[in-house]
Amino acid sequence: MELNCERAEGLLVVTVPERRLDAAVAIQFRDAMRALTEDAPARVVLDLEAVDFLDSSGLGSVIGAMKQLGQDRKLELAALSPAVEKVFRLTRMDRIFTIHRNSMDAMKETVNAG
């Protein structure tokens, strides 16, 4: 799966250019995330703005991507559509991620922190 990424200071923003993050692409997504984030900075923001459907396989692959980052780096989420947000909320997995309104907000946080 092709993922787009943009680097800022201390931050990597990964954008998923797919409308569906589901069982058909979950493994490819996880593999692509592993390759992209091998030397990622402390914060990785996953921008899901284009994604309007996420199933439990997609959810598992996002959690897998977070675990791949290890303890010293953090996966954050941005721009969840209502349908995607619902999956995180019902499974209570919204509690393990910092969720931003959009990736711009996430980047501003870096500037403010710096």
Partner 1 sequence: MLADRLKIQRDDDALPPDPGIVVREIRLVFHASPIHVRRALQCATGALAGLELSDDDRSSVELVLAEVMNNIVEHAHADGAGEIELILRESVDGLLCTVRDDGRGMPGGAPPAQRQPDPEVAAPLLQEGGFGWFLIGELASKVSYRRVHGRNTLALLFAFGRPPRPC
**Cβ distance to partner 1 smaller for residue 34 or 67:** 67
**Cβ distance to partner 1 smaller for residue 8 or 53:** 53
The whole-angstrom distance between residue 97's C-alpha and the CA centroid of its chain comes to 9
Distances (CA, A) of 111 to 10, 11, 114: 10, 10, 5
**Cβ distance to partner 1 smaller for residue 61 or 103:** 61
Establish if 66 lies at the interface with partner 1 (CB under 8 A).
yes
C-alpha–C-alpha distance, residues 11 and 40, integer Å: 8
Establish if 90 lies at the interface with partner 1 (CB under 8 A).
yes
Establish if 50 lies at the interface with partner 1 (CB under 8 A).
no
Give me the least distance between CB of 20 and partner 1, in Å please. Answer: 7
Establish if 4 lies at the interface with partner 1 (CB under 8 A).
no
Strand order in the sheet with 74-78: 4-8, 11-15, 43-47, 74-78, 99-100
Establish if 61 lies at the interface with partner 1 (CB under 8 A).
yes
Contact residues for partner 1, defined by CB under 8 A: 20, 22-24, 53, 55-57, 59-61, 63-64, 66-67, 71, 82-83, 86-87, 90-93, 95-96
